[in-house]
Amino acid sequence: MMLEGRHIGVRYGAHVAVEDVSMTAQPGEVLALLGANGSGKSSLLRALAQVQAYSGTITWDGAAAPTGSVGYMPQDNAARVALTAFEVVLLGRMRSLALRVGSRDLQAAQSAMEEIGVADLAPRRIGELSGGQRQMVLMAQVLAAGPRVLLLDEPTSALDIAHQLHVLDLLRTATRQRGLTTIAVLHDLNAAARFADRVALMHRGRLVGIGAPDAILRSTLLQPAFDVHVAVDHGSDGHPVVLPLRAVRP
């Protein structure tokens, strides 16, 4: 789905978290949202997911999207629930779940778990899992709904590097093959450089740049956004590689 956001603003009381952000995202593309802590990435994502009141307009293919096609994954908060991993994934099928669970929902939950590679965790209680395992289960929940849009808040923050690569690879493949519109908040600039088609950089609630990783991941933009001196090089595969050097202010 084609996303078009115009003049999006989010405020919590007097605090302005997101201010006048206009952006677009295309089907089949991964857009990474980057920025320092508190720069408004998560708030913007929550507004896009319609779980947060906002000002401005957000349209999907020209219309306010039916929430059914949007898969939103907030940061992990499901640590202490007495549900099995399978039940958590099954909840992704909320729109069609009835008292008696249909086989289509069961199959969808199962294949989503397989796709992510967590089918073996199915009977375990979600609270017993490690943070990384839980994150992959929650990702399976989002995929189980068969969404056309993925809005992911730090989907790989708890994963080891192997699983990070696996999940990000999978996201990019799924995005291309199924024509999804994927927007992910990422903290790892180099992962963003490798896996995102475009990156959006936020600073103090405003969008300071959006475009190809090459165009945005530059020291002139990164230094003020993160308050850190960086060196930017290019890896053997041509993607930018960002090397943090030292904080601007100690």
Partner 1 sequence: MSAEAGTAIAAWRRANARRTILVGVTGILLVASFAVDVATGPAMLSIQAVLRSLLGIGGDPMLDAIVRTLRLPIALMAVVVGAALGISGAVMQTILNNPLASSYTLGISAGAGFGAALAITIGAALPVPEAWAIPLAAFAFAAIACALVGSVGRMRGATPELLVLAGIACLFLFQALLSLLQFLASPEALQQIVFWLFGSLLRASMGKVGIVALVLCIAVPPLLADAWRLTALKLGDDRAKALGVRVDRLRLRAFVIVSLLTGAAVAFVGTIGFIGLVAPHIARMLVGEDQRHLLPASAVFGALLLSAASVVSKLIMPGTVFPIGIITALIGVPFFGWLILSTGRVR
Which residues of this chain interact with partner 1, rule CB under 8 A?
Answer: 46, 49-51, 67-68, 70-74, 77-78, 80-84, 86-88, 91-92, 94-95, 97-99, 106-107, 109-111, 113-114, 119-120, 122-123, 125, 138, 145
Cα 15-20-24 angle, rounded to 5 deg? 130
Output the smallest distance, CB 210 to partner 1, in A. 24
Q: Specify whether the CB–CB gap between 28 and 179 falls below 8 A.
A: yes
Q: CA-to-CA distance for 173 and 97, rounded, in angstroms?
A: 28
Nearer to partner 1, 5 or 209 (CB): 5
Identity at 113, one-letter amino acid code? M
Is 213 exposed, middle or buried, given 0-12, 13-18 or 19+ CB atoms closer than 10 A? Answer: buried
CA distance 144 to 6: 30
From CA 103, how far away is CA 121, in angstroms rounded? 20
Smallest CA-to-CA distance from 43 within 155, 191, 180, 202 is with 202
Cβ neighbours for 71, distance < 8 A, ≥ 6 positions apart: 92, 142, 143, 145, 147, 149, 150, 151
Q: How far is the CB of 68 from partner 1 (least distance, A)?
A: 7
CB of 120 to partner 1, least distance (A): 7
Distance of CA 132 to the CA centre of its chain: 15
Q: Give the residue with the Cβ less far from partner 1, 47 or 242.
A: 47
CB–CB of 191/202 below 8 Å? no
Q: Which is nearer to partner 1, 72 or 226 (CB)?
A: 72
Retrieve residue 84's tokens. Answer: 């099995």
Please give the Cα distance from 75 to 28 (Å, whole number).
Answer: 23
CB nearer partner 1, residue 50 or residue 219: 50
Shortest distance (Å) from residue 94 CB to partner 1? 4
Q: Which is nearer to partner 1, 86 or 226 (CB)?
A: 86
Helix or strand (DSSP H, E) at 71 = strand 70-73
